[in-house]
Amino acid sequence: MKLNDSIFRFENPVLNEMYFKVNDDFKKEKMETDTESANGRISVKHEDNDLNEAFVYLTITIGEKGDSFPFELKVTMGSNFLWPEGLAGKTINTLLTVNAPA
């Protein structure tokens, strides 16, 4: 299988924020087993003067304060993404919001 070089490039990702705290008030009987506790957020910083470059942040949060989760965890990572001139705006948006977090 031959791999093709991608036109969408990124620089080394960096850890921007990490927070972990054990919930001392956690009560196992209050934890809902069918609760989806992971949330994600994508933030794109795109400077107008850099039309083919953007910094993308991905934040993942698991758990929450209180007695129904054993811990809180929040991690934010980011990287600078680059692409060649001439790509359509819709393609760039897809690259930044789908491909970049992957």
- What's the pLDDT at 34? 52
Grade residue 21 by pLDDT with cuts at 50, 70 and 90: very high
Grade residue 24 by pLDDT with cuts at 50, 70 and 90: confident
Percent pLDDT > 90 in the chain is 20
Residue scoring higher pLDDT (34 or 52): 52
- Cα–Cα distance, 73 to 71 (Å, whole number): 7
Q: Is the pLDDT of residue 78 over 80?
A: yes
- Say whether 67 sits in a helix, a strand or coil: coil
Residue scoring higher pLDDT (11 or 39): 11
Instruction: Give the CATH number of domain 9-99.
Output: 3.10.420.10
Q: Which burial class, exposed, middle or buried, applies to 55 when counting CB atoms under 10 A from its CB (0-12, 13-18, 19+)?
A: buried
The distance between the two most distant Cα atoms of the chain, rounded to a whole number of Å, is 56
The stretch 39-46 carries a mean pLDDT of 73
- Cα–Cα distance, 93 to 102 (Å, whole number): 14
- Residue keyed to tokens 């994508």: 42
